[in-house]
Structure 1
């Protein structure tokens, strides 16, 4: 499992001209699921995401977590994170999980984040989405579960 995490001042996702998810301070997550991902991968990344200390404290040092600052999450399913571009000029997406498996794990991932007390907004799985954000910093990290 791969997650591209961006610390944001605000972020939104629009489908067919309608905003379907929107947050202010927090994280915008692009979430990729592969064939081998399990609930253990979800748990690992949920814990990493909620406790990652990348918000500035009073001294201006990255020392506070999403939970500490009361931030929200906008989670976007992103199968293209598993696009292989090593050969040719066209990405191969064979490493991305099939949609039925990916949707189940993606929904579980978001629910696990909610169970930690976070407000989690999402896009619509499998739809074409326009994602907007104001990156805070900018701060962008790529997180992977141990089995990725």
Structure 2
């Protein structure tokens, strides 16, 4: 039996940063039962971080954020005020310009870009809660869990 339905975190407004998006994904996925595979959690955290980073760097910032679980998937939605669609760039690691984010997102998740009435867009990324390389299939499986931060740490 699973209670994966109904877990969600939403944030509207500007100013969301990648670290906060990662925390929201952790909070939602660590509440899912049965526990989410640590590989799925890592992929979902990376996708959220990259989507928010891209919105901050290339689209004027985040205007909405949502992570929800249902139908065996986790969906991460990031909205921004730009009409420009994400695209793959050629990475330039020697000049530290990035270029890996959107390609990583499209390799890890099924993506959809929805234009919003009045301008802007929402990028939705869906990942299966069970990985094809699930550690559930291996002896000694340890579900994803978080140790509480020490005082003063995040």
Q: Hey, which of these two has a bigger chunk of strand by percent?
A: 1
**TM-score, with normalisation over the residues of structure 2?**
0.26
Structure whose alpha-carbon radius of gyration is higher: 2
Q: Hey, which of these two has a bigger chunk of helix by percent?
A: 2
**TM-score, with normalisation over the residues of structure 1?**
0.27
